[in-house]
């Protein structure tokens, strides 16, 4: 199941993010703002439980999140979304998964993983700015499930239909929340119209 967030303010921010004239500082700020907007929608489905507190006036039964939240950015571009989600969930645990796409085969290759331990009923948010072929995301979900994480949500800023189909076919239990579903992938597996290379634009590399 995938959901495109059709909020007008998010679409406004996305246009600025895509603009080739947008420089690194503003690009990073926009990526985090957009992540917050998408994450806010994704968090609507979290489980909550009763929790007793004392207000300055009286005792009451409030609500709190039932699950520990774990955020897993896919290196390196996913790091550019991390501050956005941690602004909303500052107590979240953070893991990291490193994947790169082989230039010749276009297949994902894992080169690093570090995940939190001793978490209670973890709800994992994978964050990656661009869901293109879906290969790296599927490989990351495979890795997480093999480590015992089964409650997983994917957050991407923009997605290609091909990537959505790949993830939904391999892992139909993983919801996808995205800021926009773009037209297609080109012959080099880049999203069209897309926004270019998210990692390069975030960190000023080529």
Decide the pairing of beta strands 130-131 and 93-94: unpaired
Backbone angles phi, psi at 77, to 5 degrees: -65, -30
**How many other C-beta atoms are found inside a 10 Å radius of the C-beta of residue 38?**
24
Give residue 8's pLDDT. Answer: 93
Is the pTM value of this prediction over 0.85? yes
Annotated active-site residue 200? The verdict is yes
**Helix residue ranges, H only, 75-154:** 82-88, 135-146
Give residue 106's pLDDT. Answer: 66
Decide the pairing of beta strands 96-101 and 69-75: parallel
| CB hemisphere CA count around 177 (13 angstroms) | 22
Beta bridge partners of 56: none
Of 68, 83, 142, 200, which is the active-site residue? 200
Q: Helix, strand, or coil here: 190? A: coil
- Tokens representing 25? 């500082």
How big is the chain, counted in residues? 206
Of 68, 83, 101, 142, which is the active-site residue? 101
Q: Is CATH 3.40.50.2020 what the domain over 2-47+66-203 is classified as, yes or no?
A: yes
Are 62 and 53 in contact by the 8 Å Cβ rule? The answer is yes
Of 50, 105, 118, 187, which is the active-site residue? 105
Written as tens digits, the pLDDT of the chain (206 aa) is 899 999 999 999 999 999 999 988 999 999 999 999 999 999 988 889 999 999 999 999 999 998 899 999 998 889 999 999 999 999 999 999 998 777 777 677 888 899 998 888 899 999 999 999 999 999 999 999 999 999 999 999 999 999 999 999 999 999 999 999 999 999 888 899 999 888 888 887 86
Give residue 21's pLDDT. Answer: 92
CA–CA distance, 179 with 134 (Å, rounded to integer): 16
CA–CA distance, 66 with 58 (Å, rounded to integer): 24
């Amino acid at each position: 199941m995938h959901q495109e967030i059709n909020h007008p303010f998010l679409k406004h921010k996305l246009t600025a993010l895509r603009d080739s004239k947008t420089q690194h500082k503003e690009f990073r700020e926009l990526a985090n703002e957009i992540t917050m907007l998408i994450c806010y929608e994704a968090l609507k489905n979290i489980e909550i439980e009763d929790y007793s507190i004392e207000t300055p006036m009286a005792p009451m039964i409030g609500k709190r999140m039932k699950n520990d939240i774990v955020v897993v950015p896919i290196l390196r571009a996913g790091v550019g979304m991390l501050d956005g989600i941690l602004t909303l969930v500052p107590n979240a645990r953070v893991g990291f998964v490193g994947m790169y796409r082989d230039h010749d085969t276009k297949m994902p290759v894992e080169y690093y993983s570090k995940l939190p331990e001793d978490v209670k009923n973890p709800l994992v948010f994978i964050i990656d700015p661009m869901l293109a072929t879906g290969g790296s995301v599927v490989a990351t979900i495979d890795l997480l499930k093999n480590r015992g994480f089964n409650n997983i949500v994917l957050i991407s800023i923009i997605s290609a239909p091909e990537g959505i189909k790949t993830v939904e076919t391999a892992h139909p239990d993983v919801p996808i929340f995205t800021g926009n579903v773009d037209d297609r992938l080109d012959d080099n597996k880049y999203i069209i119209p897309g926004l270019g290379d998210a990692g390069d634009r975030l960190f000023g590399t080529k």
